[in-house]
A and B are shown apart, each in its own frame.
Chain A
Amino acid sequence: MNRKVEKSRFFFEQDMQETVGEVSTLKPKPWGPDVKLDVVGKPVTRFDGYDKVSGTATYTFDIKLPRMVYARTLRSPHPHAKIRAINAKAAWEVPGVLDIISSDNTKSIPWYRNTSMIFDSHLRFEGDEVACVAAETLKSCEEALRLIQVEYEILPFVVTAGDALKKDAPKLYDSGNVTWGKPETYKRGDIKQGRMESEELVEDTFSTSVAIHNATEPHGSVVNWEGDKLTVWDSTQAVFRVRDSIAAALKIPDSHVRVIKKYMGGAFGSKLSAGKYTVMAALLARRIGRPVKIILDRREQNLAVGNRPDSVQRLTAGAKKDGTLTFLTHDATGAGGAYPSSAGCSWPARTMYRCANMKASDTTVYINAGPGRAYRAPGHVQGTFALESLMDELAEKIGMDPLTFRMKNLADTDQVFKLPYTTKLLKESYEAGAKEIGWQKRNRTPGSGVGPVKRGTGMASQIWWGGGGPPAYATLKLNRDGSAHVIAGTQDLGTGTYTIMAQVAAEVLDIPMDRIAVTLGDTGTCPYCGGSGGSTTAASVTPAVRDAAERMLTKLRSAASAILEVSETDLNYEKGTFTVKTDGKKKADIGTIMQKMREQALVTTGARNANPEGFAINTFGAQFADVEVDTYTGSIRVKRVVAAHDIGRVLNRKLLENQFHGGIIQGLGFALMESRVIDPNTGKVLTTDFHDYKVPTMMNIPEIKVIIVSEGDTRISAVGAKGIGEPAMIPTAAAIANAVYNAIGVRLRSLPMTPDKVLNALEAAGRKS
C-alpha cells in the first residue's frame, strides 16, 4: 500500500497542528531544479476560466431548487442587549411567511466554541442573531422581519479594546473581557541583558484598524432535506469542516450531511467555518419541508461574519552600532469582537530576525462588535507593519541602511522551535527585489525631495508558514480513452486549485490537460482534504494528486508487463502508451490495457506525504514599494511594488502572478483606506457598505513586478510547492509605510494612512507643506 500512519506537523493560519494521520510513503523522484517538466510550472490558462467568463459558473448564490423558499435573519440593532420577549404575531400574518424561528421555539444549539448559542438571549454585538424567517419570497421575509417585535433590555456596551480593559468596563462575559482569561505570551533569552548590550534603542506604538473581508459573493447556503439526509450548498473554504459543524449542530451523523461548493465568490478567510445561517436554514427547511436559500446582504457581511481584529502594538528593540539586534519586545492588544477569536500578531517578531532576547505578549479582548475570523495572514499583516516599521526606525538610529540592517540579522533557524528551515531564500529575495526597484536611488535623507509631491521607496520582509501537510487525499479515475478525472475534497477559492491539480495529473500521466476533469469541494464524493486556509492547499493537495497519478502508472505498468509479457523495467511509458524498450513495435496503450483488465474506470487514491522531521517549513519574501505623497492633500499613491519571494515551486506562473497582485492590492487597501468604523456613542457600525468601507478599485493599482527566487522545495514533498495567498499580502502595508516615511520624513504609525492622518502628521512634525 505504501501508506502508513505517522505524526506530522504543520501550521494552519497561526496554529501549529500535529496530526497522526495516514500518509503516503511512496517516494517518487522529487521535482527538483534538475527535473524538466512539461506542464507543471507553465502558465497554463485557468482550468475553470471558461465557466467564469461565460457566466456558466454556478455559485451557491445561483442555486435554485424546485419549491425552494428564502430565509432572512433578524439581527440585534443594539451592540449589547438581552432579549426579554419576542412577539412575531404580526410577522406571521405577512402573506408568504412560512416559518419564524428564534429562541422561543428552537432547542438551544451551542455555537462560538460553546460560549453562546445559535439563538442566545444575550446579544453581544450589533448583528447578533435574534430570529430567522422563511417565506415564499425575499420581500415577504423582509416585511416579516420589520414586523417582529422584540423587547430588548439594553445593556451598556464597549467597542474598543482599550475601553474593554478598563476596570469598570461593561462585561461581555462573567469571566471578563480578556479572551481566554489572559494574554498569550512567549519569551526567550533575557530582555534586561539585551537592553544592556544595546547601544541604541527604539520604542514605539503602532495601531491598525479592523478590516472586513467583504468578499463579493455573500456568505450563504442553500439547504435541502431528503428524508433525514441534508444537502448543503455553501459558499465555503472548508466543506468538511462545515459538514461536521452542521451535523453536530443538528445532531445527525456526518454521513447524512453533504456539503457542496463548486465555485465561491471570494472568502479570504471569512468562510473557513460554518455559519449560523446554515444551521438556521436547515432548521427551517426541516420544519417546513422545503429547500431553503439564505444569503446574507452586504450589511450583514460587514457586521457579522468576520474581520481582521484591530491592534495596538507596543514594540521596543535595541541594537549595537554594528547592527546586531540585541533584544525585541512586542506587546499587542486587539479586539477580537464578541466571541472567541485571536487578535494575536506577534508571530513575525518572534521569528523574523535573529535575536537572542525576545519577549511577546498578545492580548485578545472581547468587545461588543462582530467576532474576528482569519483574514489573509491573520496577525502577520498587522504584526509585520509594526515590526518592519520599527526595524526601519532602528536602522536609521544606528545610521545603517535598512536593508543592510535586515541582512545583518537574518535568522538561519526557526528560533521558536529551534529547527533549521527546509529552505530560506530571504537574502536572495532582498537582493532581487532591491535590484529591481532600484534601492540605491531612494532618498538618502527621508523627506528631502523637492516640491509638494514627495517620492519615496521602502521595503519590508515577510515570513509565513504555507508548507501544508497531511492528511490530504486525491482520487484519480482513468478512463479507457486515456482521459482522467481528479477528485479531491479541497476547494478552489479563485486561486487556481482546479488548474494546478489538473497540471500535476497531466504531468505524471503524460496526457494533455484537455483530457482531464477535476471535481472539488463535495463531501459526498470527494476524499478528505482540509480547509483552504493558511496557504496550505497547493502544498498539501498537489502531492496527493501526484501520489495518485504515480500509483496509477504503477498499476498500468504492471498490467502492461503482463499483457506484453516483458518485465516492468523493460517498458517505456510516453503519452499514454507503454512500449517495449527492445522492440518499439510491441506496445500497449491505456485503452488496450484497460480493455484487457475489463476496467472502465481505473481508480487510485493518493495521499500527502509526511512533512520532514526536524525542519521548520516556511515561506519568505520581501516587498519594495515606490510611493508618491501629496503633501498638500495628504493623499498617497503607490506607484510600484516589487515582490520577491521564496515560495517553493511555481506551479503556474500566470495564476501565481494574479494571486500576488491580489494580495498586494489588498495589502494596499489595508495600508491606505480600509477601516471598520464604530460610532463610540451608539456602538453601531458606520461602515456597512462599499461606499463607507473603502476597498481598492482599478484607480488605486500600482505597477507590480513579481520575482520568485525559489525552486521546488524537495524536502517537503515530491511536488515542492508552498502557498502564496498569504505571503503575497503580508509585507505590503509595511513596505508602503516605510516608503511613505522615506518620502516625507515623518512616520505614520497608524493604519490606514488616510489623508487626514498624513496631514496631521506633517503638521505635528512642523513640516508645513
Chain B
Amino acid sequence: MPFYGGDFMKKKSEPQNPSRRNFLKNVGVGTIGGAILTGTSGKAASTSTAIEPDSGPIPLRLKVNGDTVNVSIHPETTLVEVIRDHLGLTATKIACNRGECGTCTVLLDGKAVYSCHLLALDAADKEVTTLEGLMDGEKLHPIQEAFLAQDGLQCGFCTPGQIMTAAALLNEYPEPSEEQISIGMSGTICRCAAYPNIAHSVKDASRRLKKPGGNNEQES
C-alpha cells in the first residue's frame, strides 16, 4: 500500500503490502527472506519474558538506525511494537494504530512508512530509520534543527512522525514546492495543527541540507 496517494511519489522501492496472504505464506513455510534466524540463535535473541497467548516467538534480524538487532517476536508483531517495546526507542509514537494518522512514521529504506501498519517481519532485510537515527549523539540533524527553529510543533507527540515524513519527502524532493510539501506531509496528522510552521520547517530543512557541510547522511 503506497503511503502517499496519487502519483505524487515516485515509487522506487515501495514497502511491501503487509497483506495477510503474504504473511501467511511466509509464516507457513517457516522462513522469510534470509533474515529469519535459526531456532537456536533465535533462543539467544529472545529477550521477551512476556507470556503470550499464542504460539512461540520467531527470531528476526533487523537493521535499525544502522545497527543490526536480533529480536524474538510473535509473527503478528508490528514494526512499531518492535521499535518501542523491544528496542526501547520511544521517540516513535502510536496515535491511531491503524495506519491513518502518521504519528508512527519511520523510514524503511529511506521511504516513509506507517510503522503501526507494517509487520516487523516485512521490515526484514531493510534499513529502518527512526527519529533517534537522525541524531548524532546529542546533536540534532538539520531537519530537527529546522523544526526547532521554525517551531514546527506544539505538544510534540506527532513531531517524530512529522520529522520522519519530512525526511522521506526531502529524500525524494530535496527542494520541495509548496504543493509537494502540502501533499507530502498530509499523511501525518497534527491535531494541534501546527501545520503552517511544519511547512516552514520543511522548507528550512531543505535549505539547511543544501548548505555545504550540512548533514547529508540521510540522503540515500
Binding site for B on A (CB under 8 A): 45-46, 48-59, 61-62, 64, 94-96, 136-137, 139-140, 143, 213-218, 263-266, 268, 297-298, 493-495, 654-655, 657-659, 661-666, 669, 689-691, 695-699, 701, 704
Distance (whole angstroms) from the CB of B165 to the closest CB of chain A: 10
Distance (whole angstroms) from the CB of B109 to the closest CB of chain A: 21
Given contacts A137-B51, A494-B153, A669-B193, 11 further A-B contacts (CB under 8 A): A49-B147, A50-B140, A50-B148, A51-B156, A55-B91, A215-B155, A216-B95, A263-B156, A697-B189, A699-B183, A699-B186
Q: Name B197's closest neighbour in chain A (CB-CB).
A: A658
Which residues of chain B from 118 to 167 have a CB within 8 Å of any chain A CB? Answer: 130-132, 135, 138, 140, 144-145, 147-149, 151, 153-160, 163
Stretch in B12-20, B23-31, B97-105, B206-214 touching the partner: B97-105
Is the CB–CB distance between B185 and A218 below 8 Å?
A: no
Bound complex: CA A137 to CA B86 (Å): 13
Distance (whole angstroms) from the CB of B3 to the closest CB of chain A: 14
Is the CB–CB distance between A659 and B154 below 8 Å?
A: yes
Given contacts A55-B131, A94-B53, contact A665 B157 (CB under 8 A): no
Say yes or no for B173: interface residue by CB 8 A criterion: no
The 5 closest A-B CB pairs, nearest first, are A55-B91, A265-B157, A494-B155, A52-B156, A665-B193
Cβ-neighbour of B53 out of A55, A58, A95 (below 8 A): A95
Is the CB–CB distance between B96 and A689 below 8 Å?
A: yes
Is the CB–CB distance between B151 and A658 below 8 Å?
A: yes
Which residues of chain B from 48 to 83 have a CB within 8 Å of any chain A CB? Answer: 50-54, 74
Given contacts A55-B131, A665-B195, contact A216 B53 (CB under 8 A): no
Is the CB–CB distance between B185 and A698 below 8 Å?
A: yes
Distance (whole angstroms) from the CB of B144 to the closest CB of chain A: 4
Say yes or no for B191: interface residue by CB 8 A criterion: yes
Is the CB–CB distance between B157 and A661 below 8 Å?
A: no
Say yes or no for B35: interface residue by CB 8 A criterion: no
Binding site for A on B (CB under 8 A): 50-54, 74, 88, 90-98, 100-101, 103, 130-132, 135, 138, 140, 144-145, 147-149, 151, 153-160, 163, 181-183, 185-199
Q: Name B184's closest neighbour in chain A (CB-CB).
A: A698
Is the CB–CB distance between A263 and B93 below 8 Å?
A: no
Chain A residues near B182 (CB-CB < 8 A): 698-699, 701
Chain B residues near A50 (CB-CB < 8 A): 140, 148
Is the CB–CB distance between A55 and B132 below 8 Å?
A: yes
Given contacts A298-B96, A662-B193, contact A698 B51 (CB under 8 A): no
Chain B residues near A54 (CB-CB < 8 A): 91, 131, 135, 138, 140, 144
Is the CB–CB distance between A49 and B51 below 8 Å?
A: no
Chain A residues near B195 (CB-CB < 8 A): 661, 665, 696-698, 701
Cβ-neighbour of B52 out of A51, A95, A298 (below 8 A): A95
Chain A residues near B98 (CB-CB < 8 A): 298, 689, 691
Is the CB–CB distance between B93 and A217 below 8 Å?
A: yes
Distance (whole angstroms) from the CB of B88 to the closest CB of chain A: 8
Given contacts A53-B140, A96-B52, A140-B51, contact A216 B147 (CB under 8 A): no
Distance (whole angstroms) from the CB of B28 to the closest CB of chain A: 21
Cβ-neighbour of A96 out of B50, B91, B188, B198 (below 8 A): B50
Cβ-neighbour of A58 out of B90, B103, B197 (below 8 A): B90
Bound complex: CA A96 to CA B151 (Å): 44
Bound complex: CA A348 to CA B199 (Å): 34
